[in-house]
C-alpha cells in the first residue's frame, strides 16, 4: 500500500518493496540475526506476517508554531516532525480521530498557562510541544497526552469537550513525562481488551502488543509450544497477563505471574479478582535486579518470558546455574529483540537446553523490527 509520507517518515523505510520482496527481506534478516546462535533451532516454523492497517497503538509528536499545530511522526533520522493526515499502519478508528485531535491541540496551545515566577507574580506561557499516545482497545480509544505542563481548568475543559464530542473516545489522561504516572482527565468507562474471553482492564499508557492480530498470533504460538505440559508455570515480565490468562484456562495449571510494574499488576489483580481466576498468583519483583533464584525456581514445569528489549539475561543465568533435574522442562521465550534473544538463548544452550522451534512474528511491518517466539526443552528430563 502506497503512502505519501514514506520517503520522509521514519516509520516505514521498506514500504517501497513489493510484498514478496519485503517478506523475503524480513525472513533473510531474521535468519541473519539468529546466525549468531551457538546451535540453530531444530525447526523454523512458518513466519507470521501482520497486514497493513492493524496497528492499534501509536505515539505521535506535536509541535506548535504561531498557534498552528504540526502533528505526526519523526522524520527519518531527525527530530523534525512529518505532519500527517493519516497513517497506513494505523487502524481506521485511530486515523479517524486524528482531525479532531489536531483541532483539540490547536485550542490547547492557544490557552496560556500561569507560570509562577516569584511571590504572587505570574507570567503567561504556552504549550509548544509534546507527545500523544493513542491506543485502540476493545471498547474505544484510550489517549494519553504527554507534555511538561500541568493542565489548568480551561485546558481540562478543552480536553473534556474533545472527549465528549467523540463517541469512540473512552478516556483521556495526562502525564508530564514518559516515566511519570498518568492523571485521568476524563473517563467515560474503564477501557478493556479481551484476551481469550477475559475482559482485561487497561491502565492509562499501558503497553499492548502493537496489533490485536499479533497478540492473538503470539498467544497461539505460546500455547502451541506449551502443548500438553501442565502444572506449575511461570509467566515472567507478565505485564497485564497476556499469556497468563490462556494458560490459566487449564485448571491443572498454577500460574505464577511476575512483573515490576505496580500499575500493571494492580490492573492485572483487578481483572483476576473480578473473574474469580483462582489459579493465577501475582507477585511484584524486579527480575533485572532480583531474578528468581535457588528454591524460587524449583518445581516449574515451564516458564514463559516476554522481557523488554534488554532481554532477560539476569534471570536466564540463574536458571542456567541450576542442576539439570531442577531446571524447568520447557522455556518459551517471546522476544522483540533478536540480538538480546541470541545472548539469552546461547546461555540456555550452554547450560544444556535444546532449542526446538522458533517462529518469527512480523508485527512492526515495513521496519527492521522483528518479534519471535522460541521453545527450549531440557535435554535431560
Mean pLDDT of 51-65: 94
Residue 222, helix vs strand vs coil: helix
Domain boundaries, the chain: 19-52+209-378, 57-201
Q: How far apart are CA 241 and CA 352, in angstroms?
A: 29
Sign of CA dihedral 28, 30, 34, 39: negative
The CATH number, out of the four listed (3.40.50.970, 3.40.50.300, 3.30.930.10, 2.40.50.1070), of the domain defined by the range 57-201: 2.40.50.1070
Confidence of residue 380 (pLDDT cuts 50, 70, 90): low
Confirm if 145 and 130 have CB atoms less than 8 A apart: yes
Whether 19-52+209-378 shares its CATH topology with 57-201 is answered: no
Tens-digit pLDDT profile for residues 247-272:
999 999 999 999 999 988 998 999 99
Q: How many other β-carbons are positioned within 10 Å of the β-carbon of residue 292?
A: 21
Tens-digit pLDDT profile for residues 101-153:
999 999 999 999 987 777 777 788 899 999 999 999 999 999 999 999 999 99
Q: How far apart are CA 329 and CA 300, in angstroms?
A: 8
Tens-digit pLDDT profile for residues 175-226:
999 888 899 999 999 999 999 899 999 888 888 899 999 999 999 999 999 9
Q: How far apart are CA 208 and CA 305, in angstroms?
A: 16
pLDDT value at 381 more than 80: no
Task: For residue 245, give the C-alpha cell.
Answer: 490468562
Closest CA to 171 of 182, 180, 179, 312: 182
Beta bridge partners of 313: none
Tens-digit pLDDT profile for residues 342-367:
999 999 999 999 999 999 999 999 99
Share of the chain above pLDDT 70, in %: 99
| Confidence (pLDDT) at 286 | 96
Q: Are β-strands 183-187 and 169-175 bridged in parallel, bridged antiparallel, or unpaired?
A: antiparallel
pLDDT value at 174 more than 90: yes
Is the pLDDT higher at 8 or at 211?
A: 211
Residues 6+ apart with CB under 8 A from 139: 170, 189, 191, 192
Q: What is the mean pLDDT of the chain?
A: 94
Q: How far apart are CA 299 and CA 269, in angstroms?
A: 24
pLDDT value at 1 more than 80: no
| Confidence (pLDDT) at 9 | 86
Closest CA to 218 of 361, 320, 78, 110: 361
Q: How far apart are CA 205 and CA 182, in angstroms?
A: 7
Residue 61, helix vs strand vs coil: strand
Q: How far apart are CA 192 and CA 142, in angstroms?
A: 10
Q: How far apart are CA 336 and CA 364, in angstroms?
A: 10
| Residue 46 CB burial class (10 angstroms; 0-12, 13-18, ≥19) | exposed
| Confidence (pLDDT) at 2 | 78
Minimum mean pLDDT range among 7-21, 25-39, 96-110, 129-143: 7-21
Sign of CA dihedral 50, 141, 176, 80: positive
| Confidence (pLDDT) at 227 | 97
pLDDT value at 289 more than 70: yes
Tens-digit pLDDT profile for residues 299-316:
999 999 999 999 999 999
pTM comes to 0.93
Q: Which CATH class is domain 19-52+209-378?
A: alpha beta
Helix (H) or strand (E) run with residue 83 in it: strand 81-83
Closest CA to 304 of 240, 206, 208, 223: 223
In DSSP notation, 153-217 reads: HHHHHHHHHHHHT-TTEEEEEEESSTTSPPEEEEESS--EEEETTEEEE--TT----S-HHHHHH
Amino acid at each position: 500500500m502506497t503512502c505519501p509520507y514514506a520517503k520522509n517518515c521514519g516509520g516505514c523505510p521498506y514500504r517501497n518493496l513489493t510484498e514478496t520482496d519485503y517478506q523475503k527481506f524480513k525472513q533473510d534478516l531474521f535468519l541473519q540475526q539468529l546466525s549468531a546462535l551457538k546451535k540453530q533451532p531444530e525447526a523454523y516454523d512458518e513466519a507470521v506476517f501482520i497486514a497493513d492497517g492493524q496497528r492499534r497503538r501509536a505515539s505521535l509528536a506535536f509541535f506548535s508554531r504561531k498557534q498552528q499545530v504540526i502533528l505526526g511522526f519523526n522524520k527519518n533520522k531527525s527530530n523534525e516532525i512529518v505532519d500527517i493526515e493519516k497513517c497506513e499502519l494505523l487502524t481506521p478508528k485511530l486515523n479517524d480521530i486524528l482531525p479532531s485531535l489536531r483541532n483539540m491541540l490547536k485550542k490547547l496551545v492557544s490557552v496560556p498557562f500561569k507560570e509562577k515566577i516569584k511571590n504572587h507574580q505570574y507570567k503567561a506561557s504556552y504549550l509548544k510541544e509534546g507527545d500523544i499516545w493513542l491506543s485502540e482497545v476493545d471498547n474505544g480509544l484510550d489517549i494519553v497526552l504527554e507534555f511538561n505542563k500541568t493542565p489548568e481548568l480551561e485546558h481540562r475543559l478543552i480536553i473534556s469537550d474533545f472527549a465528549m464530542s467523540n463517541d469512540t473516545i473512552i478516556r483521556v489522561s495526562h502525564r508530564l513525562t514518559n516515566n511519570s504516572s498518568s492523571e485521568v482527565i476524563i473517563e467515560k468507562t474503564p477501557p478493556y481488551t479481551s484476551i481469550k474471553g477475559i475482559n482485561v482492564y487497561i491502565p492509562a499508557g499501558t503497553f499492548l502488543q502493537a496489533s490485536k492480530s499479533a497478540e492473538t498470533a503470539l498467544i497461539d504460538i505460546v500455547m502451541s509450544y506449551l502443548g500438553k505440559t501442565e502444572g506449575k508455570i511461570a509467566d515472567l515480565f507478565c505485564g497485564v497477563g497476556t499469556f497468563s490468562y490462556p494458560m490459566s484456562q487449564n485448571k491443572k495449571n498454577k500460574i505464577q505471574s511476575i512483573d515490576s510494574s505496580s500499575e500493571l499488576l494492580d490492573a492485572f489483580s483487578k481483572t483476576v479478582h473480578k473473574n474469580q481466576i483462582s489459579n493465577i498468583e501475582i507477585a511484584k519483583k524486579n527480575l533485572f535486579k532480583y531474578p528468581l533464584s535457588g528454591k524460587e525456581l524449583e518445581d516449574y514445569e515451564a516458564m514463559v518470558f516476554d522481557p523488554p528489549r534488554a532481554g532477560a539475561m539476569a534471570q536466564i543465568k540463574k536458571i542456567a546455574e541450576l542442576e539439570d533435574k531442577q531446571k524447568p522442562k520447557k522455556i518459551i521465550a517471546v522476544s522483540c529483540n533478536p540480538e538480546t534473544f541470541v545472548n539469552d538463548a546461547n546461555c540456555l544452550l550452554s547450560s544444556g537446553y535444546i532449542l526446538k522451534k522458533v517462529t518469527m512474528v512480523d508485527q512492526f511491518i515495513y521496519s527492521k523490527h522483528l518479534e519471535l517466539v522460541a521453545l527450549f526443552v531440557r535435554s535431560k528430563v
